[in-house]
Structure 1
Amino acid sequence: MAPSSGLVVQLRREMQRFAPFSQMHPEHLDRLVAQSSQAYFAPGETVLQPEDGPPSHLYYLRQGAVTGRRGLAEMAAAGFQYEAGDVFPVGAVLGQRAVTATYHATQDTFCLLIPRETVLELAQLSPPFGDFLNRRVLQFLELSRRAVQVAYASQTLAEQSLEAPLRSFARKTPVTCRPDTPLGDALQRMHDQHIGSILVVDDEERVLGILTRHDVLGRVTLPQVPLDAPVSEVMTRPVHVLTVDDTAQEAALLMSRHGIRHVPITERGRLVSLVSERDLFAMQRLSLKQVSTSIRAARDVATLELVGQDIRRFAHNLLAQGVRARQLTELISHLNDVLTTRLIELVAERRHVDLRRMCWIALGSEGRQEQTIATDQDNGLVFASDAPEADRPGWLDFARDVNEALERCGFPLCKGGVMAMNPQWCLTPREWCERFDDWIEHGSPEDLLNAAIFFDFRPLVGEPGLVAPMRDLVTRRARAVPRFLRQMAEAALRHRPPLNWLGGLDTADEDGRALIDVKLQGTAIFVETARIYALAHGIEETSTRRRFEAAAGPMGVAASESEAWVEGFEFLQLLRLRVQLGAEAAAPQATERPNSIDVNTLNDIDRRVLKETLRLARRLQQRLELDYLR
């Protein structure tokens, strides 16, 4: 039965509460409603089944609930549930194929049936509707990210998103000169225009070098270079440059890593603009470079304890900008790296330790550069020695000083003892390789746990060449031992997504809160699966995102599918960050349960994305089971 004109208006208002209908033009939404029909399903009644063939309608669930159960050939836990506002079965309607599950109403259920012809027509007319059909999960994720940005907008002064390409910044005409320009002329131009640097370019506007005010003392005054000398004799080269397609985040990281204040921007190799730190963070209280510079300038651990608090404040500001979880965790990890590096340098200076004889390695989430705010220590030490037993005590004393100082800076000691001050994790390269090889060879439960932590290692401070044999062994040996990969898969499948037999969220009730451990029951599934496929295909990347991207080809997976894995993982990371940073949507137990979220506090979009992401995690585990356990 087609809806009446009055009901069309009522349905439009009802549907505008949900994506993608909330983004559609009213005219397009009215057309969708007017060409649809309504249907009622009693509790237990079949809505759709494979025997019906390709569905001729897309179902919009107005009221009630519908569950789907896979056939006997599928896993017993493969159920799912649709609630008011959900649309199904998108894939079957667009692909003109039969559904692969049997759908039943579990209560009095009312649906709006949208003809397939109308679906295809509106997919062309309405970009929001078309995008939703083609990128359903990714569309929800984007809406969720926007909701967070709106919720935090009043808490920050930031106006420029770090995701923006540098071409979107107002272009500044850089002051330049040719390499044969007399030094005196270049300095005079800097003085006249009140600038601190001048870029040196060739006739085709390609950047050759830079002369800054800070260079003058060491490169001009003290060496007594004559002012008629060409500027090319004293300019700094090469110059760190970015293109108009690079992002503000990449510019911020470049400035932080190299201690620079300006970055030339090129287009097709030609200089077109100059971006400064002030441009990136003009309206922000803290900048990445300000925080990292303060950390690097610290002269003692006590100062680092104070400066380290800025990392949390900076992360809060970035969340307010709507910065994605990947960028947030990378930036947090970068600042944690800067702090750890400076702390190790201070301890090494005090203890007269030669950092060229060792390498401090980051493990776990730090090794993957996926740290959130609430993170403890996971680290190890690699040292060069011909007499390990004689030299180890000295390295252990050094490591203990570092671990205890990190604790004072806000990084709790690891309860499992995975720290460099533990003799088990303070080894020579040969000892590390022997230990890694033993884990792969035997694969005991403890070996698998250790591999999950240590195989994500990343060199942080010291001589990176010491860890090269370790990475080579892991990459080579793990893929050569199928039994080990099977054992890793079995261990990874012990934690399942929190979905009940109907496919709804399965929460733990605690003091009236409906909690889900987003780390243990969510991100860990993506991390473990990505690690296994990376090991299986000899991929050296350690971050979850890069592992999925690199493994997609060897796995025969479409780029869109691996992109969905990445986006799902990063949405769960964002939920963790929101809890830990005390976001308005987070539960108040942030400090005692830093990875648990009360689903009752989530808005409608986030609840939907969470459910979709957990379903995605379950399908990922099904793939893992098929590849390694059957």
Structure 2
Amino acid sequence: MTLSRQDLHRFIFSVHPYDSLLPADLADLVPLFQTVPVSAGDSIYQLGDPLEGLYLVHDGEIEITDENDIPVSLLGPRNSFGERGLTRNGMAVTSARATTDGLLLLLPRADFDALMARHSSVAKFFDRRRSDSRRGSNLATSRVETLMAGKPITCPTGTDVQSAARLMRDHRISSLCLTEKGKLSGIVTTRDLSGKVLAEGLPFDTPVSQVMTASPLTLSPSAIGSDVLHAMMEHNIGHIPIVKGGNLVGIVTRTDLTRFQAVSSAELVSAISRADTAADMARVTAEIPRLLVQLVAGGNRHEVVTRLITDIADTATRRLLKLAEAELGPPPVPYLWLACGSQGRQEQTGVSDQDNCLFLDDAVREADMPYFHALAKYVSDGLDTCGYFYCPGDMMATNPRWCQPVRVWQQYFQGWIAKPDPEAQMLASVMFDLRPIGGDRALFGNLQKKTLKAANRNSIFVAHMVSNSLKHTPPLGLLRGFTTIRSGEHRNQLDLKLNGVVPVVDLGRIYALQGRLTEANTRARLQAAETKGVISASGARDLLDAYDLIAETRLNHQVKRVNDGEKPDNFLSPTDLSDFERSHLRDAFVVIKTMQSAIGHGRGTLS
């Protein structure tokens, strides 16, 4: 199989982290890759061999095995292997073999090292992979409360065995906890029912208390994964109830441990990149809540967690674009799919909608538009199937307004800056977070820099944007309390997104506008604003600390929801926090309010 220069460029641009490179840098990089055809059974390298460089799978599957010849990964298209971080003194610590015919792209060792040295985004990506490979699943050090299934199914001890069996069948569980007034009395498993009831021919109305394990081994939520694993191995059991203050609060099973170890962002990305339908992808993205739990349990910072989760959405988008082209045929003119909102900022959590648009080459004709409308519908419908629900404000490429030639997009930005009415402010806020996902990146070109320059020079527009950014305020009440939602489903709760994260996102966007900063990620914007002097060093540190605390609190809340068997959301009851946590969260909100006040009065810094 041969690849044209254009095909090679398009493919490499579709792979992270190369999609973060500037067009000129990507153009310099592409010719350095060598094509390496492989046949099923071919050895790429063996344990202890010197590595030639970084391999990127274009087609086919590659099996990676450890020193005991046990498979550790099965890699498909867009997966990399052989990087220096996974070597020992330049020698491979694994073996790689082709399981199918395929094509690899090889970036020679010297060129890969130079790439890492020149581009921090690439270095961070591969350093993270190296860190992940060393850290493993973090099972041994993860707290039990992040592993357990919350709200376990229970029944009284007087329940008959047939009713107990039906409960287990209906809830698709392999054990049932027996309680009296919230206190754990025992546990019964499917093994108990088969070995003690069916095998002994006991009547179906036998009380479950006669076959349960009374006073079973339990652990507290503060135990760690290794405690669970060791207890299961020592006592040959597969279920451990979790008890706090004498009350049953959860249960951990061998399945929970297996699931925790199995989920990784790399595996999800790999599976999505090979999926043939949106339904196939949806089965993969359904694992995102468990991935969220694992990443937070592993001690990862919030910006790492959200970046890894966003990578999955990016991969799903690019895969859907490829599937759409396979169904619709090649595009009549070049296009670029861009994300805005949380995906654009690489800040997605366990719950996200989709915000996207299409840039089309100016050569597009009216007769070409049905193709792009069909492509947009295919991708947006696919993303919705994957759990990225449709944007309530219709900020999607399926809206003809957001599927336009580049010249029209230029007119949009010029018009919003020239006449900053409320709609223009809202649209500009969304569009300043644009990030290319798939297609011809050249179409984005220097539009961002030009727009930032023009917007920065228009003081009226900047003033309107500042005013618009102050509409979302922290939930601060009187007497050191919080202002919670007053009515509805989330009464007496805090919206950690709208009143916590969003105000900082808005501030970061204003700082980017004032400093002509091209970063889209909020944390990166705040750091860049400090470096460029847009905000003071002390103000930046305070705001970063406040943002980190709120973002971490939000993720921890979502993890708790997942462990309780519920969908993650952004609504937190202050009563779920300790006095210490409430005090610090309020302090974080005060910092944000202070920074909003400073920028609202024309002071861009906080000393």
- The bucket for the TM-score relative to the shorter chain is 0.5 to 0.7
Q: Which amino acid aligns with 2:588?
A: T
Change (3 A) 1:297 1:444: same
2:581 maps to which of 606, 611, 614: 606
Q: Which residue of 337, 349, 352 corresponds with 1:372?
A: 349
Partner of residue 312 from structure 1, selected from 284, 289, 311: 289
Residue 492 of structure 2 aligns to a residue in which SS?
strand
3-state SS of paired residue (1:456): coil
Q: CA deviation at 1:291?
A: 1.4
User: Partners of 2:308 and 2:391 in 1: how far apart?
Assistant: 22
- Residues 454-493 of structure 1: matches in 2 within 5 Å? 454-493=431-470
Change in Cα spacing, 1:618 to 1:342, as seen in structure 2 (3 Å) is same
Whole-Å separation in 1 of the counterparts to 2:591 and 2:67: 60
Cross-structure match for 1:539: 517
Mapped pair 1:400 → 2:377: yes
Is 2:503 aligned against 1:619? no
CA separation of 1:361 and 1:606: change in aligned 2, threshold 3 A: same
Distance 1:554 1:177, change over 3 A: closer
- Secondary structure in 1 aligned to 2:444? helix
Aligned match of 2:136: 280
- What amino acid maps onto 1:382 in structure 2? F
Q: State the TM-score, normalizing by the size of structure 1.
A: 0.58
State the 1:575 CA deviation.
2.9
> 1:294-309 maps to which residues of 2 (within 5 A)?
294-309=271-286
AA aligned to 1:281 is: S
Output the aligned Cα RMSD.
4.2
Are residues 295 and 590 of structure 1, via their aligned partners in 2, closer, same or farther at CA, if it must alter by over 3 Å?
closer
Distance in 2, matches of 1:585 and 1:393, equals 45
Deviation per residue, 1:155-191 (Å, 9 max, x gap): xxxxxxxxxxxxxxxxxxx825498xxxxxxxxxx99
Mark the runs of 5 or more structure 2 residues left unpaired by the alignment.
1-46, 53-64, 72-80, 140-260
What's the CA shift for 1:494?
2.3
Q: Write the letter of the residue equivalent to 2:340.
A: L
> Which runs of structure 2 are paired with 1:173-212 in the superposition (5 Å)?
175-177=48-50, 212=96
| Alpha-carbon spacing, 1:194–1:494, altered in 2? closer, same or farther (3 Å) | closer
Give the letter for the 1:404 counterpart.
Answer: D
- Alignment check: 8 A CA contact 2:49 2:91 kept: no
Equivalent position of 1:160 in the other structure: none
Q: Is the 8 A contact 2:494 2:573 kept in 1?
A: yes
Amino acid at match of 1:175: G
**Against the structure 1 CA distance between its residues 212 and 557, is the aligned structure 2 distance closer, same or farther, given a 3 Å change threshold?**
same
Q: CA deviation at 1:194?
A: 5.6
| Correspondence for 2:526 among 537, 548, 552 | 548
2:78 is matched with: none
CA 1:213–1:404: 2 relative to 1, 3 Å: closer
1:355–1:467 distance in 2 versus 1, CA, 3 Å:
farther
Equivalent-residue separation in structure 2 for 1:615 and 1:390 (angstroms) = 55
Q: Structure 1, residues 197-237: CA drift from partner, whole Å, max 9, x if none?
A: 99999xx96789999434998799xxxxxxxxxxxxx9954
Mapped partners of 2:290, 2:68: distance in 1: 36
Q: Find the aligned partners of 2:397 and 2:51 in 1 and give their Cα distance.
A: 52
Which residues in structure 2 correspond to 1:25-44 (within 5 Å)? Answer: none
**Is the 8 Å Cα contact of residues 177 and 199 (structure 1) preserved in structure 2?**
no
* Larger-Rg structure: 1
Among 186, 209, 213, the alignment partner of 2:97 is 213
Quote the Cα distance in structure 2 between the aligned partners of 1:195 and 1:499.
55
Name the counterpart of 1:323.
300
Deviations 1:8-37 (A, max 9, x none): xxxxxxxxxxxxxxxxxxxxxxxxxxxxxx
Q: For the Cα contact (< 8 Å) 2:485–2:493, is it kept in 1? A: yes
After TM superposition, the structure 1 = structure 2 runs for residues 486-525 of structure 1, keeping only pairs within 5 Å, are: 486-510=463-487, 514-525=492-503
Distance 1:251 1:178, change over 3 A: closer
Match of 1:254 among 126, 149, 154: 126
Alpha-carbon separation, structure 1, partners of 2:82 and 2:449? 45
Structure 1: unaligned runs, 5 residues or longer: 1-173, 180-189, 221-233, 257-262, 266-274
Answer whether contact 1:585 1:601 (CA < 8 A) is retained.
Answer: no
Match of 2:145 in 1: none
| 2-structure distance, mates of 1:213, 1:290 | 18
The one-letter amino acid paired with 2:284 is: V
Is 2:332–2:364's contact at 8 Å kept on the other side of the alignment?
no
d(CA) in 2 for partners of 1:235, 1:518:
44
Deviations 1:318-349 (A, max 9, x none): 12223221111111111111122112211221
Distance 1:191 1:405 in 2: 36
Match of 1:270 in 2: none
CA displacement 1:408-459 (0-9 Å, x = unmatched): 1111111111000101000111111110110011000000000111110000
The one-letter code matched in structure 1 to 2:594 is R
Query: SS of the residue aligned with 2:312?
Result: helix
Output the TM-score relative to the length of structure 2.
0.60
Query: For residues 517 and 198 of structure 1, what CA distance do their matches in structure 2 show?
Result: 44
SS class of match (1:360) = strand
Q: Which residue of 2 aligns with 1:60?
A: none
Q: Which residue of 2 aligns with 1:597?
A: 572
Aligned length: 411
Query: Alignment partner of 2:407: what SS?
Result: helix
CA positional deviation for 1:311: 1.9
Whole-Å separation in 1 of the counterparts to 2:443 and 2:537: 35
> 1:418 aligns to what?
395
Deviations 1:605-624 (A, max 9, x none): 32122101100111110111
8 Å contact kept, 2:337–2:437? yes
Amino acid at match of 1:562: A
